[in-house]
Amino acid sequence: MSPAVPFLSLKAVTQKYAAEIHGAVDRVVASGRYVQGEENRLFEEAYARYLGVRHAVGVANGLDALALILRAYIELGRLRPGDEVIVPANTYIASILAITENGLVPVLAEPDIATFQIDGTGIESLISPKTRAVMIVHLYGRCAFTEGIAELCRAHKLLLIEDNAQAHGCLYHGRKTGSLGDAAGHSFYPGKNLGALGDAGAVTTDDGELAAVVRSLANYGSSKKYVCPYRGRNSRLDEIQAAVLRVKLAYLDGDNEARRAVAKKYLGGIQNPAIILPNIGEWESHVFHIFPVLAQKRNQLQDYLSGKGIETLIHYPIPPHKQGCYKDWNGLSLPVTEGIHAQELSLPMSPVLQDEEVDAVIGALNQWEGR
Ligand SMILES: *Cc1c(COP(=O)(O)O)cnc(C)c1O
């Protein structure tokens, strides 16, 4: 049986735009062109315009977007294998995988416990002579960019890369996340704020040279057909996903407003000393990909909610430095990160969550006795 209050009903999200999505898919089916066609070009154009950047390159997924940015910087001689990249320790594993797959060295920064985001203080103490880049992650949909971080990057000549997988449409003083650093990787995995009906991603940047190398690397490393200056891979955004994304991009701001309305209800309604609500900052700087709360007895809370038909998730149960794929780091002590992973619980959140569902979650949380 499906839960009374699902964490996220992708079916309902898609249903909302079903007629337009079917129209877009039918158009591609009829076109006979399924990769590298008009839909891709138009989506790239629309997404670049939406973000206020010069270039958007559609790729196969968010991990590839981040990995291709780093690889392109290596090809351009602006990064070298062995260089250090500072990245938040509490991010999703994909941010870290993109760094290590390029032979670069992730340096894990503790986040600020109040915001869950990497901050200037955390970054500054980790800068070494080998540091060449900072990857910020707008985790949970909250903007992680600050003037302080930009200033540090300028002062130390570090590349600033944004992982914008969770924050499409998020603003920093009127500018979109994904347009704030040297380059940004975006994921359009179905569950993200701007989600395709399969895997999809994009790289955005104002740097035309970088965009050209990313485009080439994503297409076997070819500059033109059958001419390959790089050892590339195949990471293209297909036409059906591009067409779906063009439909959904038009509704992204409205969907983010719907998420904010849910967040406002949670923040105004949840009153339980055993549950810590997130510090959300400016409303425009949060698009609530996730609504995270903290509880000492997180696992009990999750079971309790589950018993009431309320589905929650944990983002994330195991931090990257405790994963089996990074055994060398398993002994590292990162108490802030570990604390978040031990206590975080993500409440149901989506643009299609109904008022009664939100009320049911609030009611259940307020009745919880924290045991
Ligand atoms: C989803 C996500 C990614 C990876 O995107 P995929 O499209 O799933 O490859 C990278 N970073 C963060 C923070 C994410 O949430």
| Position with higher pLDDT, 176 vs 2 | 176
198 in the Ramachandran plot: left (φ > 0), alpha (ψ -120 to 50) or beta?
A: left
Please report the atom of ligand 1 found closest to the CA of residue 61: 7
Q: Is 98 near ligand 1, meaning CB less than 6 Å away?
A: no
**What pLDDT does residue 226 have?**
86
Cα of 92 to ligand 1 centre, how many Å? 7
Do both 260 and 203 map to the same domain?
no
Mean pLDDT on 242-254: 98
Domain boundary at 249, 268, 293, which?
249
* Residue among 135, 136, 163, 236 whose CB has most ligand 1 atoms within 8 A, to mutate: 163
Q: Is 95 near ligand 1, meaning CB less than 6 Å away?
A: yes
Q: Is 365 near ligand 1, meaning CB less than 6 Å away?
A: no
Asked if residue 261 has pLDDT above 60, the reply is yes
Q: Is 87 near ligand 1, meaning CB less than 6 Å away?
A: no
* Residue among 92, 194, 245, 289 whose CB has most ligand 1 atoms within 8 A, to mutate: 92
* Residue among 187, 236, 237, 346 whose CB has most ligand 1 atoms within 8 A, to mutate: 187
Asked if residue 162 has pLDDT above 90, the reply is yes
Tens-digit pLDDT profile for residues 197-211 = 999 999 999 999 999
Q: Tell the residue nearest (CA) to atom 5 of ligand 1.
A: 62
Q: Is 63 near ligand 1, meaning CB less than 6 Å away?
A: yes
Identify whether 210 is part of a domain: yes
Average model confidence (pLDDT) for the chain?
97
Any idea what the CATH number is for the domain that residue 115 is in? 3.40.640.10
**What pLDDT does residue 370 have?**
82
Mean pLDDT on 337-355: 97
**What pLDDT does residue 225 have?**
86
Do both 151 and 17 map to the same domain?
yes
Do both 239 and 276 map to the same domain?
no
pLDDT confidence of 343, banded at 50, 70, 90? very high
Q: Is 320 near ligand 1, meaning CB less than 6 Å away?
A: no
**What pLDDT does residue 122 have?**
87
Identify whether 1 is part of a domain: no
Asked if residue 1 has pLDDT above 70, the reply is no
Asked if residue 79 has pLDDT above 60, the reply is yes
Identify whether 3 is part of a domain: no
Do both 211 and 284 map to the same domain?
no
Asked if residue 309 has pLDDT above 60, the reply is yes
Tell me what percent of the residues of the chain surpass a pLDDT of 90.
96
Do both 294 and 174 map to the same domain?
no
Mean pLDDT on 45-60: 98
Cα of 70 to ligand 1 centre, how many Å? 15
Mean pLDDT on 74-102: 98
Any idea what the CATH number is for the domain that residue 342 is in? 3.90.1150.10
Q: How far apart are CA 235 and CA 215, in angstroms?
A: 9
Identify whether 2 is part of a domain: no
Domain residue limits at 71? 11-249
- State the sign of the Cα–Cα–Cα–Cα dihedral 30, 32, 34, 39: negative
Domain boundary at 249, 272, 294, which?
249
Do both 204 and 347 map to the same domain?
no
Q: Is 141 near ligand 1, meaning CB less than 6 Å away?
A: no
Closest residue by Cα to residue 12 from 140, 190, 237: 190
Do both 230 and 328 map to the same domain?
no
Asked if residue 371 has pLDDT above 80, the reply is no
Q: Is 291 near ligand 1, meaning CB less than 6 Å away?
A: no
Looking at the 3D structure of the chain, how many domains does it have?
Answer: 2
Domain boundary at 183, 216, 249, which?
249
Mean pLDDT on 260-268: 98
**pTM attached to this predicted model:** 0.97
Q: Is 202 near ligand 1, meaning CB less than 6 Å away?
A: no
Please report the atom of ligand 1 found closest to the CA of residue 139: 13
Do both 112 and 207 map to the same domain?
yes
Mean pLDDT on 263-278: 97
Report the chain's C-alpha Rg in angstroms: 21
The contacts found for 357-360 with CB under 8 angstroms, 24 or more apart, are 357/4, 357/5, 358/262, 358/265, 358/266, 358/269, 359/265, 359/269, 360/4, 360/5, 360/308, 360/310
Identify whether 107 is part of a domain: yes
Q: Which residues, 6 or more positions from 200, have their beta carbon under 8 angstroms from its beta carbon?
A: 58, 59, 60, 61, 187, 188, 189, 237, 238, 241, 242, 245
* Residue among 189, 203, 233, 288 whose CB has most ligand 1 atoms within 8 A, to mutate: 189
Cα of 67 to ligand 1 centre, how many Å? 11
Asked if residue 96 has pLDDT above 80, the reply is yes
Question: In whole angstroms, how far apart are CA 161 and each of 84, 206, 335, 363?
Answer: 13, 12, 25, 40
Do both 257 and 148 map to the same domain?
no
The contacts found for 226-234 with CB under 8 angstroms, 24 or more apart, are 230/75, 233/64, 234/60
